[in-house]
Chains A and B, each alone.
Chain A
Amino acid sequence: GEDVEQSLFLSVREGDSSVINCTYTDSSSTYLYWYKQEPGAGLQLLTYIFSNMDMKQDQRLTVLLNKKDKHLSLRIADTQTGDSAIYFCAEPTGGGNQFYFGTGTSLTVIP
């Protein structure tokens, strides 16, 4: 679970959709998570997906999970300037106690 990869930067125009990708390593993870971090702040849980699901939708957020490829994505519809932040995917390992975070994707929304 130590190597959770994400692309570092993403820029989108306000109103467009954003897609943030993540590849993880531990196929036994029961859940996978997406967190948002605004500048100088802690992490806010956005959403999570159970490992036996392919997709989960929560208002503007859609999570897609491809277990075969160990690929997770977060789609934000109608992206707003308030969505500008760093987004981390995270997988629990070690029996669910330890979280390993991705490298983080810095999303910039252009007005």
Chain B
Amino acid sequence: GAVVSQHPSRVICKSGTSVKIECRSLDFQATTMFWYRQFPKQSLMLMATSNEGSKATYEQGVEKDKFLINHASLTLSTLTVTSAHPEDSSFYICSARHLAGGPNEQFFGPGTRLTVL
């Protein structure tokens, strides 16, 4: 149980285009999902907290107009990188917090590798 999927797993796009990444909790409901960014050989950086039915909360320094987050249901959150540029190339990982609680545990998706040409 507690599986989180991401789609796509890998995407290559041209500079200036927008890319949508989906994060789904497959077998549980998640009121809260999180989006992280990871640069090569670096740690994960929390970008934003996504709450179902409300606006996402962005970490300091993360542009909310650049990284649009929509948490439309208890099992789906999307991250749209708008007008992507090469510096947006990164590994994006989502996680979901189980509605039933637990020890603050978050379940992580497998990640999406974004390459902007």
Give A residues with C-beta under 8 Å from B: 30-31, 33, 35, 40-45, 48, 50, 88, 92, 96-104, 106
* Most chain A beta carbons < 10 A, residue from B44, B97, B105, B107: B44
B35 to chain A, nearest CB (A): 12
Taking a contact as CB atoms closer than 8 A, the residue among A42, A97, A100 that contacts B110 in the complex is A42
* Most chain A beta carbons < 10 A, residue from B42, B43, B93, B97: B43
B108 contacts chain A at the CB level, 8 A cutoff: yes
CB neighbours of A106 from chain B (8 A): 41
CB neighbours of A102 from chain B (8 A): 43
Q: Interface residue tally of chain B, by bracket?
A: 20 to 34
CB of A50 within 8 A of CB of B110, answer no
B70 to chain A, nearest CB (A): 19
Taking a contact as CB atoms closer than 8 A, the residue among A43, A48, A50, A104 that contacts B108 in the complex is A43
User: How many pairs of A and B residues are in contact by the CB < 8 Å rule?
Assistant: 53
Main SS of chain A's interface residues? strand
A-B contacts besides A88-B43, A100-B46, 12 pairs, CB < 8 Å? A40-B113, A42-B109, A42-B111, A43-B93, A43-B108, A45-B107, A48-B103, A88-B44, A96-B104, A97-B104, A98-B46, A106-B41
